[in-house]
Amino acid sequence: MSHKTVGVMPGSDRAYDIIIGVDVLADAGRIIAHTLRAQKYCVVTDSHVAALPHILKLTKSMETAGCSLTAPIVLPPGEATKDFYHLQYIIDQALERGLDRHAALIAFGGGVVGDITGFAASVLMRGVPFVQVPTTLLAQVDSAVGGKTAINTARGKNLVGSFYQPRSVLIDTQVLQTLPPREMRAGYAEVVKYALINRPSFFEWLDENVAALLAGDAVAQAEAIAISCTAKAEIVADDEREQKDIRALLNLGHTFAHALEKLGGFDGRLLHGEAVSIGLYWAAAFSAQQGLCPPGDVARIKAHLTAVGMMTSPPFTAAAGDILSAMQNDKKSVGGKMTLILMKGIGRAFVQPDVEGAAVLSFLKSMTECNT
């Protein structure tokens, strides 16, 4: 199967390509060496990915291409790694390995690794180039694309970070073969998100192809990843730094999701993609409660999510008031007022500013009390 290429911000000085296909890792070294021409490279990964054979394929490809590699920086897996401590750890380890402004970082892992490595690259030596090589479906279709980098704080998710574009994104669908089913389903939530934002025909395609995609069909996976990356690239090109009401659409379901993640303590009970799955359903259901979205579309969304074993309610008890408080502390809230991404139907998402807390609280009570 030939590789697919999606361009991000073509014509800009920050333009780059997303390369998608089977066995992209085998050609990664040539692409990275040609794109960056750095004097030294350091791979940042986590202990789960470091134990898989994929990293050997990546490093061998880079060595064959003449890249000078340091020892990799290996982080603990999980969302809790996205903090100041591990940001400093990456920077200290990079400096210890002799990286300077002519060096580059390679983020090789899921969304956590990509987010914190990108942030570290943005501040190391006032900015060194980096490449995203995502190893989870979630990272491949969402977090590795678009240049948002961040870490979490005790007050919430992704509250400290920067906009910093990678020089390239290399997506090898073969790495998904070692991804646990739970991680695949979690990543799929971000795929569905693009369909719900502005691609109703994609939702129809997913209805027909989701089983093959999650079962490992390389053609279906590459197609879904390419459509998702194209959807995100188009939005990023129009609103790179979220200064308009365009890029904010990518947050569909995420204000609910981030609140639930925070209340769950990032302890593994609720993966980011699982929280997004809940958030997508809740955004649709709240939209319907406000008379904006047809109830039939909400039912279709819930049926689609549940058919493949995705979450529509949290795996722990959370009080409506606590969820609302966490939502109001989200970085997208301004002056205590919430901005939510709502829907007028499948593929018809829009930005709704100044959402009344009382309306959200009433909705959350209905969702948590019946555990829908």
Q: What is the pLDDT of residues 225-267, one digit of tens each?
A: 999 999 999 999 999 998 888 999 999 999 999 999 999 988 8
pLDDT for 126-173, tens place per residue? 999 999 999 999 999 999 999 999 999 988 889 999 999 999 999 999
Q: Which residues are catalytic?
A: 126, 148, 190, 232, 242, 247, 251, 254, 258, 272
Q: Determine whether 83 is exposed, middle or buried from the number of CB atoms within 10 Å of its CB (0-12, 13-18, 19+).
A: middle
CB atoms < 10 A from the CB of 69, how many?
16
For the chain, the residue count is 372
Residue 314 DSSP one-character state: -
pLDDT for 62-108, tens place per residue? 999 999 999 999 999 999 999 999 999 999 999 999 999 999 999 99
User: Do 20 and 3 form a contact (C-beta atoms < 8 A)?
Assistant: yes
Q: Determine whether 193 is exposed, middle or buried from the number of CB atoms within 10 Å of its CB (0-12, 13-18, 19+).
A: buried
Q: Where are the beta strands (DSSP E) in the chain?
A: 4-8, 16-21, 40-46, 73-75, 103-109, 130-134, 148-153, 156-163, 169-172, 338-343, 349-355
- 8 Cβ contact partners less than 8 Å away, ≥ 6 residues apart: 15, 16, 17, 18, 145, 146, 165, 169, 233, 236, 237
Is the pLDDT at 372 greater than 50? The verdict is no
Q: How confident is the model at residue 51 (pLDDT cuts 50, 70, 90)?
A: very high
CA angle 214, 48, 190 (to 5 degrees): 35
Kindly report the pTM of this predicted structure: 0.93
- Structural domains of the chain, with CATH: 4-178 (3.40.50.1970), 181-370 (1.20.1090.10)
CA atoms within 13 A on the CB side of 144: 35
Backbone angles phi, psi at 101, to 5 degrees: -70, -5
Residue 149 DSSP one-character state: E
For the chain, give the mean pLDDT: 95
Residue given tokens 């993966």 in the structure block: 271
User: Do 115 and 138 form a contact (C-beta atoms < 8 A)?
Assistant: no
